[in-house]
Amino acid sequence: MTGKKYSFDMTKRKIYGAIAYAIPAFFAFLIVAVVVSVMTNIVMGGWSSLTLDFLLGAPEEGMTKGGIFPAIIGTFLLVVIMSIAGVPIGTLTAIYLSEYASQKSIIARLIRFAVNTLAGVPAIVFGLFGLGFFIQFVGSGVDRALYSDGELHWGQPNILWASLTMALLTLPVVIVAVEEAIKTVPRELREASLALGATKWQTIRKVVIPNSITGMLTGGILAVSRGAGEVAPILFTGAAYFLPHLPKGLSDQFMELGYHIYIMATQSPDVEATRGIQYATTLVLLILTFALNFSAVFLRYKLRKRIIT
């Protein structure tokens, strides 16, 4: 009798166990299914329109035909200017946090708090800040100070303000990645350098930075990937619907891939007719962010391997 009860319990336990195993497994599988279906759909939809002419041509006939070359160049310029502004600041901040700051000091905690907060601010609020600070405050201020013709030079949306807004948004990405890389530099290396009589700054410059250069690269790449994908911050800080020419200077507006997708999919006069272009543009953006993320993952993998050996 007791034996029977025991075996009954075992089956019950096994059934419950199987269910409890199957449900989480199903949800994990669901995520994979979603990712695969989104990717398949976009690759299938965009593949046929993705030609060399499309990549290297300008939009034609009211953006119903032609390519996306200006948007690719605009995105490229955006992330380059963004990186020039953001990566050095992010790297130095990470060096401060991991090398100079004592973890309990108020200053270090303030900065850490600021970085965490920056990471949590919605992208659209960065856009508002870019408009209120860079364009209306800094830009208009420069206009008043340097030009007397009363026209707008810097006090309007342009690629510089959009890039700086984006640099701010991607700053936490850089800081976190570089800090992680610096942490992987063994303490013994630092101690050896200091024991040999090198100063703190010499140690950082000659030992810490060269050994964490891969991490800095990873941070930069992740930031570029994030910056290329965000649209909300540039909606009103510099992106343009259509431009007949490429931006000539920092005070010009620019076309951008993500913004192009948004415009083509929602505001185009004939949304259905340009579906091929929309898909192909989305595919280009997806390939771009994937390539960037993949190289970041690859670099990080190499970095981890180095630690082990």
Partner 1 sequence: MMKKRFRLSEFLAEKIITATAFISFAFIVLIFVFVFRETLPIFSAPEPAVSNEEMGEQETYGDVQMSDAEKASEVKQQNKIELDEGASLKNLSSDRWQPVSSKPKYGLVPLIIGSLKVSLIAILFAAPVGILAALFTAAFAPRWAKEALKPVIEILAGFPSVVIGFFALVVMATFIQDAFGLEYRLNAFVGGIALAFAVIPIIFTISEDAIAAVPKNLTEASLALGATKWQTALKVVLPAATPGIFASVILGIGRAFGETMIVLMATGNAALVSADLFEPVRTMSATIGAEMAEVVFGETHYNVLFLIGSILFLFTFTLNAIAEIFIRQRLMKKFKGN
Residues 91-110 that bind partner 1 (CB under 8 A): 92-93, 95-97, 100-101, 107, 110
Q: Which of 261, 280, 299, 303 binds partner 1 (CB under 8 A)?
A: 261
C-alpha to C-alpha distance for 45 and 85, rounded to whole angstroms = 36
Q: Hey, what are 206's tokens?
A: 């000659």
Enumerate residues 136-155 that contact partner 1 by CB under 8 A.
136-137
Q: Hey, what are 23's tokens?
A: 């449900």
Enumerate residues 194-213 that contact partner 1 by CB under 8 A.
199-201, 204
Q: Hey, what are 277's tokens?
A: 């272009």
C-alpha to C-alpha distance for 275 and 37, rounded to whole angstroms = 18
Q: Which of 231, 277, 280, 299 binds partner 1 (CB under 8 A)?
A: 231
Residue pair 170/226 in contact (Cβ under 8 Å)? The answer is: yes
First to last CA, the chain: 60
Residue among 173, 181, 205 nearest 90 (CA): 173
Least Å distance, CB 227 to partner 1, is: 10
When asked if residue 44 is in the footprint of partner 1 (CB under 8 A), the reply is: no
When asked if residue 73 is in the footprint of partner 1 (CB under 8 A), the reply is: no
Q: Which of 57, 66, 229, 276 binds partner 1 (CB under 8 A)?
A: 229
Q: Which of 43, 142, 194, 265 binds partner 1 (CB under 8 A)?
A: 265
Q: Which of 42, 71, 185, 255 binds partner 1 (CB under 8 A)?
A: 42
Q: Which long-range contacts does 50-58 make (Cβ < 8 Å, 24+ apart)?
A: 50/280, 50/283, 50/284, 54/277, 54/280, 55/284, 58/244
C-alpha to C-alpha distance for 266 and 261, rounded to whole angstroms = 8
- Residue written as token pair 């930069």: 220
The H-or-E segment that residue 107 falls in is helix 106-120
Q: DSSP states of 197-251 as a string? A: T--HHHHIIIIIHHHTHHHHHHHHHHHHHHHHH--GGGTTTTB-S--SS---STT
Nearer to partner 1, 35 or 56 (CB): 35
Least Å distance, CB 147 to partner 1, is: 18
When asked if residue 171 is in the footprint of partner 1 (CB under 8 A), the reply is: yes
Nearer to partner 1, 34 or 192 (CB): 34
Q: Which of 225, 251, 268, 274 binds partner 1 (CB under 8 A)?
A: 225
| 289: Cα separation from own chain's centroid | 8
Least Å distance, CB 254 to partner 1, is: 15
Q: Which of 7, 8, 20, 47 binds partner 1 (CB under 8 A)?
A: 20
Q: Which of 24, 150, 197, 244 binds partner 1 (CB under 8 A)?
A: 24
Nearer to partner 1, 107 or 192 (CB): 107
When asked if residue 232 is in the footprint of partner 1 (CB under 8 A), the reply is: yes
Contacts with partner 1, 276-295, as mask; x by CB under 8 A: --x---x--xx--xx--x--
Nearer to partner 1, 38 or 189 (CB): 38
Q: Which of 1, 31, 195, 196 binds partner 1 (CB under 8 A)?
A: 31
Which backbone phi and psi does 60 adopt, to 5 degrees?
A: -130, 160
